[in-house]
Chains A and B, each alone.
Chain A
Amino acid sequence: MWSFVLKRLLHMIPLLLGVSLLTFLLMSLAPGDYFTALSQNPQISPATIAHLKAQFHLDQPWYVQYFYWFKSILHGDFGYSMAYKIPATSLIVQRLWNTFLLSFLALIIAWGIAIPLGIWAAVRKDSWVDRGCSLVAFVGLSVPDVLLSLLALWFAAASGWFPVGGAQSALYDFMPPAQQFWDRVHHLILPALVLAAADMAGIMRQMRSNLLDTLRAEYVTAARARGLGEGWVIYKHALRNAINPLLTIFGYSLAALLSGAFIVENIMAWPGLGRLTMEAFFAKDSYLVVDCVVMATALLVIGNFIADLLLAWSDPRIRLK
């Protein structure tokens, strides 16, 4: 087990290196940088700009920039955001935490609803429950995140039950801690629900078909023949095997979740990594864009790693490979 963990961890390093190299190369292809706009300003002398450029190594070729960037990363330092004028590390950590919070809550909501629904639909195959769920799931698979977020925004504005975008109210700093917590939760609910809804349909359909496949297996027939109760057969024998392939789906669903979060954050003004990426992109704060992409990839890779661990833990055959 430990060699498996170690192998997977070591595998992550070249991957993240490759991702950072690729993003760096792409950003260096971009015409102009953060200081291009500043150089139009007659109040800033060309010498100042040249000095600032040199400070950020922007006057060097991209591989030299990469080298400097990588060196500071090794020290746990993400550099200095040119656009925000604050250290990028604190910015990234705060935004990463927000994205993690949003995705994690969405994950819990999506799996918490989709798994029982999938089981229910499979056990009552061809009943109205099953048909209804299948129909809703099919429609749900086709609703784009963009539309769902806009509808949620419209709902928040029309009903007034939820704040329209943002992560906290204007008066957040003046609230007592309990109210602050509630304020955060209140802002989090709607984006998380939207993100979860986009993910739910796929998981439900997968759970249903997995369980149906397992229920057709011979050991299930054998268990029934031995006179075990139907509940025992389904939950003790079939379900445990049907859950396994879902752990693989978990990895894929994370990728979709992070891309979904990108859209939800940008539309519903949730200050996460996706929104920061767009802000940095528009400000041409190229190092910050690279930081964001690398952090998002790290989040995904670590999520996949956890999914693999869960899979190895539940299925010994994988551990041996």
Chain B
Amino acid sequence: MNETAPIQSANAEQPLSPWQLFRRRLKRRRIAMAGGAILIVLYLVALLAGFVAPYGFDRLDTNYSFHPPIWPRLQGLHLVVPRYEQAGSVFNYHIVANDSKPLHFFVRGDKYTLLGLIPATIHLFGTGDKDYPVYLLGADQFGRDVFSRLLYGSQISLSIGIVGIVLSFAFGMIIGGISGYFVGATDTVIMRLCELIMSIPALYLIISLRAAFPADMSSAKVYAMIIIILSFIGWASMARVIRGMTLSLREQQFVLAARALGQSHLKIIVRHILPNTFSYVIVAATLSVPYYILGEVVLSFLGVGIQEPSASWGNMLTAAQNTEYLRNYPWLLAPGAAIFVTVLAFNFLGDGLRDAADTKSL
């Protein structure tokens, strides 16, 4: 279509490609665009977590247990960080008057590896003095910076959503395509299996799947295990829908043509049938990512997922289950707010994508 474009005069109505129409409809949905923008920021920050976070995820200082959030304030032209002191009872912090340290950007601090490759020590901000900590979201019971742990945790929680969805949807699409294309016995067996998986309440299935793995594993193994568990559950619903779509697609003439040309069954499924389901799959994937993120959160929260000292949004919330902590140190709920914002952004984007992909609405 693009080759013919220069021939037409500039004024003539150009027919838009479906993709252009889709983009135009999506751009009109401000909320969806906002959701997308939030997600880009969240994922960028997760990617650069080591740099943005002022401290390492496992850096603890029990002198600062339950330190309240510290916000830098403007003093003249400089941002300064006040110092707090425990006065009276334990964990009761007060600002020390006229005692502050300027906040610097690009300061040296804890070691980390940028993007998992480059060892570095430069952090976006900090005071460079351990007596003047910057706890934007306070500290937890071990005196660890909640903000830093939130960022490191987002690496795990956010990436599990994407990796999990890609794995289970790819698997679900191929299985669903095979099921709908071959019909008969193959179809029956696959669909009964899907029904079996979908009839167990998700969390009960997750826990029994978790039981099949050893209790203590390395962080990397736990990460892989969570993805395997969530994908094992997620593919079934995808396969069912794709199967339904394939059932009608396989009767279409282009499939008949491909078959007449002697293409293999697998090629017909992957190259000709499945691409027709993409618009549905992309919308469904966007709306399903939150379930994968929440799956990780629940597993880690219950103590059978990501283990301390590694940070994930789920295991950070475990501390908030203690009502005594919760009442006095509400900043421990910060990961909950992060989960909420992420899920909301995915829902905004997914809703917008669905409306934009719907060709009936113009």
Contacts from A to B (Cβ < 8 Å): 15, 18-19, 22-23, 26-27, 29-31, 138-139, 141-147, 150-151, 153-154, 156-158, 164-165, 255, 258-259, 262-263, 266-267, 274, 277-278, 281, 286, 289-290, 292-293, 296-297, 299-301, 304
A22-B196, A259-B202, A286-B211 in contact; A147/B298 too (CB < 8 A)? no
CB contact under 8 A between A267 and B321, given known A144-B294, A146-B336: yes
Q: Are B302 and A138 in contact (CB under 8 A)?
A: no
A52 to B214, CA, bound (A): 23
Which residues of chain B have a CB within 8 Å of any CB of chain A? 192, 195-196, 198-205, 207-215, 290, 294, 297-298, 301-302, 304, 314, 317, 320-321, 323, 326-327, 330, 333, 336-337, 339-340, 343-344, 347
> A19 to chain B: which residues have CB within 8 Å?
196, 199-200
Give complex CA distance A290, B212 in Å: 12
Count chain B CB atoms within 10 A of each CB in A30, A144, A259, A301 and give the residue with the most: A144
Please name all residues of chain B whose beta carbon is closer than 8 Å to the beta carbon of A164 when the two chains form the complex: 323
A142 touches B344 (CB 8 A): yes
A23 and B208 contacting across the interface, CB-CB below 8 Å? yes
Contacts of A22 in B (CB 8 A): 196, 200, 208
Partner of A301, one of B192, B199, B205, B326: B199
Nearest Cβ in chain B — how far from A213, in angstroms? Answer: 13
Q: Which residue of B lies closest to A150 (CB)?
A: B320
Q: Told that A15-B196, A23-B208, A165-B323 touch, could you supply 11 new A-B pairs with CB distance under 8 A?
A: A15-B195, A31-B214, A139-B344, A143-B343, A146-B297, A255-B198, A263-B203, A274-B204, A281-B211, A293-B204, A300-B201
**Out of A18, A146, A301, which one reaches B298, CB within 8 Å?**
A146
Say how far B287's CB is from chain A's closest CB, in angstroms: 10
Q: Given the known A-B contacts A31-B214, A278-B302, A297-B199, are A157 and B327 also in contact in the complex, defined by CB atoms under 8 Å?
A: yes
Does A154 lie within 8 Å of B347, measured CB to CB?
Answer: no
Residues in B with CB closer than 8 Å to A31 are: 214-215
Q: How far is the CA of A277 from the CA of B295 in the complex (A)?
A: 17
B203 touches A274 (CB 8 A): yes
A153 touches B321 (CB 8 A): yes
From B332, which residue of chain A is reached at the shortest CB distance?
A150
| Secondary structure of the A contact surface, majority rule | helix
B residues less than 8 Å from A277 (CB atoms): 204, 207
B35 to A: closest C-beta gap in Å: 10
Enumerate chain B residues within 8 angstroms of A259, measured Cβ to Cβ.
Answer: 201-204
Q: Is the CB of A142 within 8 A of B297?
A: no
State whether B294 touches A146 (Cβ < 8 A): yes
Given A146-B301, A267-B321, also A281-B326 (CB < 8 A): no
Q: Are A289's CB and B214's CB within 8 A?
A: no
Q: How far is the CA of A245 from the CA of B360 in the complex (A)?
A: 22
- Residues from chain A with Cβ under 8 Å of B201 in the complex: 255, 258-259, 262, 296-297, 299-300
Task: Give Cα A308 to B107, complex, Å.
Answer: 64
Query: What residues of chain B lie closer than 8 Å to A281, measured between beta carbons?
Result: 207, 210-211, 304
Shortest distance from the beta carbon of A186 to any chain B beta carbon, whole Å: 17
CB distance from B194 to the nearest CB of A (A): 12
List 22 A-B pairs, Cβ < 8 Å: A30-B212, A138-B347, A142-B347, A143-B340, A143-B343, A144-B339, A146-B297, A146-B314, A147-B336, A147-B337, A150-B333, A154-B330, A157-B326, A157-B327, A164-B323, A258-B204, A262-B201, A278-B302, A290-B208, A292-B204, A293-B207, A296-B204
How far apart are B41's CB and chain A's nearest CB, in angstroms? 17
Chain B contacts for A158, CB-based, 8 A: 327
Partner of A30 from the list B198, B211, B326 (CB cut-off 8 Å) is B211
Once the chains are docked, how many angstroms separate the CA of A297 from the CA of B204?
9
A162 to chain B, nearest CB (A): 12
Q: Are A26 and B208 in contact (CB under 8 A)?
A: yes
Contacts of B301 in A (CB 8 A): 146
Cβ-neighbour of B199 out of A26, A138, A300 (below 8 A): A300
A174–B326 CA distance with the chains assembled, in angstroms: 31
Chain B residues whose CB sits within 8 angstroms of the CB of A27 once the complex forms: 208, 211-212
Q: Which residues of B contact A145 (CB under 8 A)?
A: 294
Interchain residue pairs A-B with the least CB separation, the first 6:
A147-B336, A29-B212, A258-B201, A142-B344, A262-B203, A157-B323
Contacts of B347 in A (CB 8 A): 138, 141-142
B295 to chain A, nearest CB (A): 10
**CB contact under 8 A between A142 and B211, given known A157-B326, A259-B203, A274-B203:** no
Q: Which residues of B contact A138 (CB under 8 A)?
A: 344, 347
Given contacts A26-B212, A300-B199, contact A144 B343 (CB under 8 A): yes
Contact across chains for A289 and B200 when beta carbons are under 8 A apart: no
Q: Complex formed: what's the CA distance from A76 to B297 in Å? A: 36
The distance from the CB of A12 to the nearest CB of chain B, in whole angstroms, is: 9
| CB–CB A293/B336 < 8 A | no
Are B317 and A297 in touch, CB under 8 angstroms? no
**In whole angstroms, how far apart are the Cα atoms of A158 and B328 in the complex?**
9
Q: A26: which B residues are within 8 A, CB to CB?
A: 208-209, 211-212
Assembly CA distance A297 to B198 (angstroms)? 10
Contact A296 B200 (CB under 8 A): yes
Task: Verify B317–A150 contact, CB threshold 8 A.
Answer: yes
Contacts A18-B196, A262-B201 hold; do A289 and B207 have CB atoms under 8 A apart?
Answer: yes
